A and B are shown apart, each in its own frame.
Chain A
Amino acid sequence: MKTKLATLALTATMVAAPAMADLVFPSLSYRTGPYAAGGIPYADGYADYFTLLNERDGGIGGVMAKVIECETGYNTEKGVECYEATKGEGSLVYNPLSTGITYQLIPKVTADGIPLYTPGYGRTSAANGKVFSNVFNFPANYWNAASLAINHLLEVNGGDLKGKKIALLYHNSAYGKEPIQTLEQLSAKHGFELVTIPVDHPGQEQKSQWLQIRREKPDNVLMWGWGVMNQVAIQEAANIRYPMENFIGAWWSGAEHDVAPAGANATGYKAVTFHNVGSDFPVFDDVQKYVVDAGKAAGAGDNIGKALYNRGFYAAMLMAEAARSAQEATGNADITAADMRNALESFSISEERMAELGMPNFGPAFEVNCANHGGPGTGAIQQWDAAAGKWSLISDFGPSDMDVIQPLIDADSAAYAAENNISERCN
């Protein structure tokens, strides 16, 4: 007992950290564990953008940005610990890159008045700002991704999917289950048959799933995978000689490290994305100059232009812009989490602004309002070329089927509101 108290006291002194007037952007990242391959480039991108702002522009509106990283290992218990450890440091917005941790944090951030930003992951129905006051998941969510994948298949098949068989290979968790409802609705609408095949965490063993795919012979396979599951699935698809162009991943199953292990066999593999790909943007020259060459990169500096690095970078850009608009709205350089939330709710980004930032056409131009926290829900399809070693967009950024998605969002958020006695806002 005594030793326990002593350790408690020791931790107490370690936890106490000095308060400072920086703009704090906590990054609940994971650089260890079975999902580290995806967590590292994302965390690097998120941190590097803020480092770039500090080094090049002297912060945001003259105030330095500070990224506090906390290792979650994609584990919800550690996620809680990280949240509690960082929330007292003036954190402006959380971006945990984990659907499980997002579910944990939604009620907590709402109670604490801190915004939660979950681009392309988390709870899809959080797009309904009437119910989820503190959660933002623009520019697109899982259900948009499912619809975008189906839209692409419609395009490929001349607008008709009747009688086709589409398999969904998914991570057997909250994350992987998210698109099922949407796909069921879409299958009723377009007349294709949906086969769902779960893969349990972490997904290193998928022989039986791919045996099932061989037996069922689906025309297309969609994948909702993350971490090591992606690499294994693409390798297994190559092993059974499944045509790669019929295999479409969600945007969390479309990174370089996912396709690289399968080598040349992965050529043709497709994935959905909600932002642009590649390193061909002026801003990355600045990153190279001010961040990487100055030795201030969050990682080894070799991830620039990779799919997940770009995503973290893009998320950081949107958050920095939101912080800037919060500063303008309040006339105060030192903003609070509440200011940040208000700014996110009236957030807008235009193509001109993105070009100004050196990221022309990096993502869609859109506006957020009180009722819609989900953005436009647009996306494109990217395809892998193993010989060139890069992704390229094979479609424009198109809309998703909101006629199907919006009722689902309304129903799911209404269920949440009823469960938690939340009355609708924005009326």
Chain B
Amino acid sequence: MFYREAGDFKTSYTDDSQTFPIKFDRIRYYAVLAVAFGIIPFIINDYWANAVVVPFLIYAIAAIGLNILTGYCGQVSLGTGGFMAVGAYACYKLMTSFPDVSIVFHVIGAGAITAFVGVLFGLPSLRIKGFYLAVATLAAQFFLVWLFNKVPWFYNYSASGQISAPERTVFNIAVTGPNTDAWAKYLICLVFVVAVAWIARNLTRGTVGRSWMAIRDMDIAAEIIGVNPLKAKMTAFAVSSFFIGISGALFFSVYLGAVEVGEAFGINKSFLVLFMVIIGGLGSIFGSFAGAAFLVILPVLLKNVLVGGMNWPIDIAAHLELMVVGGLIIIFLIAEPHGLAQLWRVTKEKLRLWPFPH
């Protein structure tokens, strides 16, 4: 009834090609933004920010990044953890080397450095595909973690190899360090998430995105119709790594404040982000958010329900949590192999016909 194209007349090409062609979607989009920027900062507390919302936003950026590479361009990558580490360590080196420059530029700079590293490790993708590429990116994962463990320059020669984020401010408001308010942490991440999602959405709708999808669907055919595989694959690696670098930088500086590479950016992180992308839906920006939300919020929710609500022993709850999350992943993959984004797509189709489906 409300959710339909009919009656919403487009009179210009700009209108016709907008991101949300349906009026209801547009309103919903602006409503979400209004709530996110206008209401949540005033009600968020430390627990919500640090345990749920900030990790969700940061993982959403990483998932969008990986989705561009794997979901849109079809290049399987297991190097996400390693690239996040590049972002984190680049951010740390920039923060400590240029303390007077704003942290915002450090995060973007960290993304740029990660983009460069990503392109470097993406070069093999011109020759190898599929599982073999996954193994090549796996090598990147292990190499990068080893590198940040091995070379003391990256952690400023500290005794333990830990890197800690000093306090940095944006408009005189602390966004990193222990004195950061919950809302400041939340807002800085939100600004980056909105920017990244907006860029990603528009890139994937345009020429670049179409060339990625052409490569994904059939690379030889794409080459024949004039898509340059070098350019398409390298841009996909660059953009994807740029976003993942930003998420790594925020993960270190805003969310955790101190990390060690093996523990924070190990192979588990690569799998976690890959699961987010698969569960959320390959080739969908909304899916990246849905997948990140699923894998960040569900464990916290289960823990609070089982331990806080039902007073279960913590070890049983922790084991059950693994089983429930694992079980749900399997159920999802069987019942809906295209992820949560596909559920949303089906819902939208149904909504268009509602309430007269025939």
Assess whether A31 is in contact with B314, with CB atoms less than 8 Å apart: yes
- The answer to whether A31 and B263 have CB atoms under 8 Å apart is no
| Interface assignment of B52: CB less than 8 Å from any CB of chain A | yes
Chain B residue at minimal CB-CB distance from A80: B50
* Bound: A12/B179 CA distance, A: 23
Interface check A419, CB cutoff 8 A: yes
Q: 1/0 contact trace for B295-336 toward A, CB 8 Å? A: 001101101110111000011011100100000000000000
Q: Which of B159, B162, B257, B304 contacts A15 (CB 8 A)?
A: B304
Residues 24-65 of B, flagged 1 when their CB comes within 8 A of A and 0 if not, give 000010001000000000000011101110010000000000
B229 part of interface (Cβ distance < 8 Å): no
Give the contacting residue for A419; candidates B28, B166, B255, B262; CB below 8 A: B166
Q: Is the CB of B52 within 8 A of A11?
A: yes
Q: Does B339 contact A (CB under 8 A)?
A: no
Is the beta-carbon distance between A108 and B259 smaller than 8 angstroms?
Answer: no
A320: min CB distance to chain B, Å: 22
Query: Residue-by-residue, is A94-123 near B (CB-CB < 8 Å gives 1, otherwise 0)?
Result: 000001100110111011100000000001
Minimum C-beta distance from B317 to chain A (A): 7
| A11–B307 alpha-carbon span in the complex (Å) | 12
> Which of chain A's residues have a CB closer than 8 A to the CB of B264?
76-77
Tell me, in angstroms, the Cα distance from A11 to B293 when the chains sit together: 13
The interface residues of chain A lying within 8 Å CB-to-CB of B314 are 29, 31, 69-71
Asked whether A71 lies within 8 Å of B315 as measured between CB atoms, the reply is yes
* Cα A173 to Cα B258 with chains together (Å): 13
* 6 A-B pairs closest in CB distance: A31-B315, A107-B178, A111-B178, A174-B160, A14-B304, A81-B51
- 12 A-B pairs besides A71-B314, A107-B177 with CB distance below 8 A are A11-B301, A14-B304, A71-B318, A76-B256, A76-B259, A77-B55, A80-B255, A81-B51, A88-B46, A104-B257, A177-B160, A201-B263
Tell whether, in the assembled complex, residue A178 and residue B160 are in contact, meaning their CB atoms are under 8 Å apart.
yes
Least CB separation from A36: chain B residue = B315
Instruction: Provide 30 A-B residue pairs closer than 8 Å at the C-beta atoms, listed in order of the A residue.
Output: A10-B305, A11-B297, A11-B301, A14-B301, A15-B304, A32-B319, A40-B315, A69-B314, A71-B315, A71-B318, A80-B256, A81-B51, A81-B300, A81-B303, A103-B162, A103-B164, A103-B258, A106-B258, A107-B178, A108-B178, A110-B178, A123-B160, A173-B161, A173-B262, A177-B159, A181-B159, A415-B158, A419-B96, A419-B166, A421-B167
Residues of B within 8 A of A201 (CB): 262-263, 266
Residue of B at shortest CB range from A416?
B164
Once bound together, how far apart are the Cα atoms of A267 and B130, in whole Å? 51
The reply to whether the CB of B149 lies closer than 8 angstroms to some CB of chain A is yes
What is the CB-to-nearest-CB distance from A166 to chain B, in angstroms, rounded to a whole number?
19
Chain B residues in 8 Å Cβ range of A388: none
Residues of the A chain whose Cβ atoms lie less than 8 Å from the Cβ of B255: 80
- Nearest A residue to B157, CB-CB: A415
Q: Return A343 CB to nearest CB of chain B, in Å.
A: 23
Task: Tell me which residues across on chain A come within 8 A of B308, comparing CB atoms.
Answer: 14-15, 17
- By a CB distance below 8 angstroms, the chain B residues around A110 are 178
Are B162 and A174 in contact (CB-based, < 8 A)? yes
Question: Which of A1-9, A57-65, A327-335, A358-366 makes up part of the contact surface?
Answer: A1-9
The answer to whether A81 touches B50, judged by C-beta atoms less than 8 angstroms apart, is yes
For B179, give its contact among A69, A75, A111 (CB under 8 Å). Answer: A111
Residues of A within 8 A of B179 (CB): 111
The docked-state distance in angstroms from the alpha carbon of A229 to that of B255 is 29
- Whether the Cβ atoms of A108 and B257 lie closer than 8 Å is yes
- Per DSSP, chain A at the interface is helix
> Taking A8-B297, A81-B51 as contacts, is the C-beta distance between A173 and B164 under 8 angstroms?
no
Interface SS of chain B: helix
Residues of A within 8 A of B307 (CB): 70-71
**Of B51, B158, B263, the contact of A100 (CB 8 Å cutoff):** B263
What is the CB-to-nearest-CB distance from B160 to chain A, in angstroms, rounded to a whole number? 4
B149-A198 in contact (CB<8A): yes
Contact of B160 (CB < 8 Å), options: A15, A36, A85, A99: A99
Task: State the A residues within 8 Å of B (CB).
Answer: 1, 4, 7-8, 10-12, 14-15, 17, 29, 31-32, 36, 40, 69-71, 73, 75-77, 80-81, 84-85, 87-88, 99-100, 103-104, 106-108, 110-112, 123-125, 172-175, 177-178, 180-181, 198, 200-201, 408, 412, 415, 419-421
Which among B32, B158, B255, B264 has the greatest number of chain A C-beta atoms within 10 A? B158
Asked whether, in the complex, the Cβ of A104 is within 8 Å of the Cβ of B258, the reply is: yes
Is the Cβ of B159 less than 8 Å from the Cβ of A419?
no
CB distance from B74 to the nearest CB of A (A): 28
User: Given A11-B301, A15-B47, A70-B314, A174–B260 Cβ distance below 8 Å?
Assistant: yes
B293 and A32 contacting across the interface, CB-CB below 8 Å: no
What A residues does B178 contact at CB under 8 A? 107-108, 110-112
User: Among B28, B48, B177, B309, which residue has its beta carbon within 8 angstroms of that of A14?
Assistant: B309
Closest Cβ neighbor of B145 among chain A residues: A200
A201 to B306, CA, bound (A): 29
**Contact assessment for A14 and B256 in the assembled complex, using a CB-CB cutoff below 8 Å:** no
Q: Is the CB of B149 within 8 A of A172?
A: yes
